[in-house]
Amino acid sequence: MRRLLFGMACVTALTIGYGCDTSKADEPGAMAAGVIDVDDITGNPDKYLGQTVTVIGEVDEVHGPDAFSLDEENPVAGGIDNDLLVIGPQAASLEDLDDQWLNDEVRVTGTIGKMTVMEIEREIGWDLSPQLEVEVEGAKAVLIAKSVERVQ
């Protein structure tokens, strides 16, 4: 009888474990629980407007000490660039960004917004450069960062 119960327990454990795919958990770039993919935000920004999100992505371009773009994983056909623009508020005391951050993977937590240049400047507490204003006007959404950290 014990052998039968033991055998049934083993079969049950194998059956349950068979459906669990853990192969992607250890892959580089695998998303942690609660982390939104950059492509999800750039692909459907309205879904995330006003929400606080955490994203992990590669710094594609540094626009200044408090602004950069995160690279999307799967560019749209035809070479359309849908990077996510990230801007840090003056009060957030984020670490200054420079070109040394290029191609580094970072974790950013902040709020997704779709705002005019004036609304963003009011939100972040500093005036955008003319170059950054152009980036904001062309962006589908902007992530106003509360925290930015390099991912090791």
pTM above 0.75, yes or no: no
Domain boundaries, the chain: 23-150
pLDDT in tens, 125-146: 899 999 999 999 988 899 999 9
CATH superfamily of 23-150: Nucleic acid-binding proteins (2.40.50.140)
Q: Is the pLDDT of residue 22 over 90?
A: no
What is the total residue count of the chain? 152
Distance CA 11, CA 13 (A): 6
Q: How many whole angstroms separate alpha carbon 147 and alpha carbon 109?
A: 5
- Enumerate the β-bridge partners of residue 76: 80
Tokens, residue 5: 């119960």
